[in-house]
Amino acid sequence: MCAGRARGHARYVIEVQHLTKSYGPARAVDDLSFVVRPGKVTGFLGPNGAGKSTTLRLLLGLGEPDAGRALLFGKPYRELSDPLLRVGGLLEAGSTQRTRSAYHHLLWLAHTHRIPRSRVREVLEMVGLSDVARRASGGFSLGMSQRLGIAAALLGDPDVLLLDEPVNGLDPEGVHWLRNLLKERAAAGHTVLLSSHLMNEMAVTADHLVVIGRGRLLSDSSLADFTAEHCRSVVRVRGHEPERLGALLRESGAAAEIEPDGTLRVTGMESREVAKLARAHDIGFDELAGESTSLEEAFLEMTARDTQFTAGSGVGSRGGAGHGVL
């Protein structure tokens, strides 16, 4: 985990160090540390309420951490001169005053950094809002508001994009467009951090995953490593003596449990080995199939286990011994 600490640069574009933030008794972010590097799309993943938005708000200097630091280019956001030229943030769609037009919303924002009007028209064109630029933003759909927010983030052509759930409300064409845009920017050497609660979306967009649950870091790895580490093969056996086979499998180091329909679910052993073991002990089976858990399942399992631990209900039975990721 946290593969990034090793060697090399002393500075990262985005650096979160032991970040902690509570709201009343609830700990939104709990000793969270990770770094984000340029040249990739980093997915910031976690279930609702995991602390993603809080982390991004702290990165943008909109709140004070209780402990730890959230740094961009080695500094707190508030100390950046010309922040819009360096960091483009999108926190929440619809953070506009309803009767102001999209064009004027971007215009006042441009004026804070002496960005020319031509750039305002350019980003409106980029996000596909040119035709409605003169309309009051209050009448926009969620998808259009999201596009306006993305236009605002791109306005200063920043090195860093920090986007909170940017695909929310976008239509499929918009999702596709945004995905390509983010990948292009990353390929050009920019830094992209986007949050999501949808693993499937991240699986096709991100190169690197930072997974959090209940404000704590659960995983920080490349998408490839995440897949290799967490997407275990699962073998399902529909047989005659599931208890006996299960016991034998556990003796050989695999994890096995009987599902409600009587199927034996085996992890930690390839399907061929499972079949061999069954035959060796003369246990018949009607069906034996191997499959791989999806990223989505791996993510759900990871966050569910985290919830279980914090709820104090002991060790989850699913992963079995030897497979604890944490």
Partner 1 sequence: MASSETAATPSGPARGPDSPAASGGAAPAAVLAPARGGGTAAAIRAEWTKVRTLRSTLALLVGTFLASIGLALLSGVSVGNALAADNGRVRPDFHPVDSGFNIVWYTQLGLVAFGVLLISGEFGSGMIRVSLAAVPRRARLYLAKAGVCAAVTLPLAALTVVLSFLIDQAGLGEYGVGVDEPGVLRGMLLGAVYLTLIALLAFGMATAVRSTAVALGALYVFLFALSPLSQAVPGLKEAARYLPDKAGIQALKVGADADPALGPWGGILVVAGWTALALLAGWFAFRRREV
Interacting residue ranges for partner 1, rule: CB under 8 A: 9-13, 37-39, 57, 60-64, 69, 73-87, 89, 91-92, 94-101, 104, 107-109, 111-115, 136, 152, 156, 159, 188-189, 191
35 forms beta bridges with 15
Cα 200 from Cα 195, distance rounded (Å): 13
Q: What share of the chain is helix, strand, coil (3-state, %, to 5)?
A: 40, 25, 35
Q: In the chain, what's the furthest Cα-to-Cα distance?
A: 79
Nearer to partner 1, 189 or 322 (CB): 189
Which of 117, 144, 123, 122 has the alpha carbon at shortest distance from 132? Answer: 144
We find the least distance from the C-beta atom of residue 269 to partner 1, in angstroms, to be 43
We find the least distance from the C-beta atom of residue 315 to partner 1, in angstroms, to be 37
Nearer to partner 1, 19 or 218 (CB): 19
We find the least distance from the C-beta atom of residue 268 to partner 1, in angstroms, to be 40
Backbone angles phi, psi at 51, to 5 degrees: 110, 10
Nearer to partner 1, 38 or 49 (CB): 38
Q: Which amino acid is at 223?
A: L
Instruction: Tell me how many degrees the CA angle 301-232-31 measures, rounded to the nearest 5.
Output: 45
**How many CB atoms neighbour CB 193 within 10 A?**
27
Nearer to partner 1, 108 or 323 (CB): 108
Nearer to partner 1, 134 or 279 (CB): 134
Cα 148 from Cα 145, distance rounded (Å): 5
Helix (H, G, I), strand (E, B) or coil at 108: helix
Nearer to partner 1, 44 or 103 (CB): 103
We find the least distance from the C-beta atom of residue 95 to partner 1, in angstroms, to be 4
Nearer to partner 1, 18 or 281 (CB): 18
Nearer to partner 1, 10 or 280 (CB): 10
Which of 217, 251, 203 has the alpha carbon at shortest distance from 17? Answer: 217
We find the least distance from the C-beta atom of residue 197 to partner 1, in angstroms, to be 20
Torsion of CA 3, 207, 44, 199, to 10 degrees: -120
Nearer to partner 1, 86 or 214 (CB): 86
We find the least distance from the C-beta atom of residue 73 to partner 1, in angstroms, to be 5
We find the least distance from the C-beta atom of residue 60 to partner 1, in angstroms, to be 5
We find the least distance from the C-beta atom of residue 65 to partner 1, in angstroms, to be 9
Torsion of CA 101, 105, 108, 112, to 10 degrees: -170
Instruction: Spell 118-129 as b/e; 16+ CB within 10 A means b.
Output: ebbeebbeebeb
CB 41 within 8 A of CB 205: yes
Torsion of CA 204, 205, 208, 212, to 10 degrees: -90
Give the H/E segment covering residue 257. strand 255-258
We find the least distance from the C-beta atom of residue 208 to partner 1, in angstroms, to be 15
